[in-house]
Amino acid sequence: MEKNGFLEKYAKILVIIAVFCGGASGPIAAIISSPALMIGFGRLTIALPFFAVPVLMKPEKRQMLRELDKEKFFTTMATGAFLFLHFFCWFTAVKYTNVSAGAVLASFHPLVVLALTIFVYKKKVPGKAIIAILIALAAGAYLMCSDLSAFSDGRTIGNVLALLAGIFMGIYFAVGGRVRSKMDGQVYVMLVFFWCWVCFGVACLITGTRLTGYAATDYLGIVALAFVCQIGSHAVWNLCMGHVDPLYVSAWESMDPVASTILAVIIASQIPSVKEVICCIIVVLALMAYSRFESQGDK
């Protein structure tokens, strides 16, 4: 179809752009003074219509929503809840630790997917892939624990939250992946983002988090998160699926810590330490190797 011609031609470039758009999430959130719940609720409030309107305007998509069975309903709800936990931990983490360190630790979602693949889904994974992910884990563990004296100033707390953000992202991928193959892509994404938005809204009500009265720069930052990260990254990822090789997507996704580190220098004026740069390089190379070896295991 003609409308897919652009994606087929430029999908690989768009994937790279999406990586840097997603990498901007940490640096932008780091300079916003609003609480994490406000950031998440505001971001999704702005972005959700861009995912919902294309679904609700098409009769066949509305029919899919009406015919949603209990399994898909509750699975998308759970997936949205895990995405909420990921966002909450990540937006909180970058207020305590450097974005570069946090991005490295948050990139460990493949480890969670690997564990669930082996122990829950009983799928065989190549030994080389396991070794690669363990190397990445070792580098991340060193980064998180190398300066426990920083616990008092919140840096270690931020690192732990960043790691939790990665764990929740891994569960989000693993749980969502089981139902995503059985659902229309647009309907799935809209439902997951909707439930994530509901979780943020309920959390704001329970905690009494106010939605107004913040600095104008905070609201500008939240708008940037919505358009640059939620739409520019998540929407582009989903549009490019099917037009590029999964290994290409996985390899570039592993570059997220690099993108976050570079953008943290530009946006938040955070200069990474030598230790953070070295750990970032090790983790990226290990995750790229994991993607390659894991893909070979499927052949």
- Complete DSSP assignment for 55-115: HHTSHHHHHHHHT--HHHHHHHHHHHHHHHHHHHHHHHHTTTS-HHHHHHHHTTHHHHHHH
Classify each residue of 7-30 as buried b or exposed e, where b means 16 or more C-beta atoms within 10 Å of its C-beta. Answer: beeebeebbeebbbbbbbbbbbbb
Question: What is the overall mean pLDDT for the chain?
Answer: 85
d(CA 38, CA 42): 6
**Is the Cβ–Cβ distance between 51 and 190 less than 8 Å?**
yes
| pTM metric for this prediction | 0.85
Interval 259-297: pLDDT, tens: 888 899 999 898 888 888 888 888 888 888 877 777 666
Q: pLDDT-based confidence at 197, cuts 50/70/90? A: very high
**Residue 241: pLDDT band with limits 50, 70, 90:** low
The proportion of the chain whose per-residue pLDDT surpasses 90, expressed as a percent, equals 40
| Residue appearing with tokens 């989000």 | 172
The rounded radius of gyration (Å) of the Cα atoms in the chain is: 19
Q: How large is the average pLDDT for residues 129-135?
A: 84
In this model, does residue 81 exceed pLDDT 90? yes
pLDDT, residue 153, reads 60
For range 75-80, the mean pLDDT: 93
Q: In the chain, what percentage of residues exceed pLDDT 70?
A: 88
Q: Among the listed ranges 139-143, 243-247, 255-259, which one has the minimum average pLDDT value? A: 243-247
- What average pLDDT does the segment 47-51 reach? 94
Q: How far apart are the first and last CA of the chain?
A: 30
Summarize pLDDT for 99-112 with one digit per residue, the tens.
Answer: 988 888 888 777 77
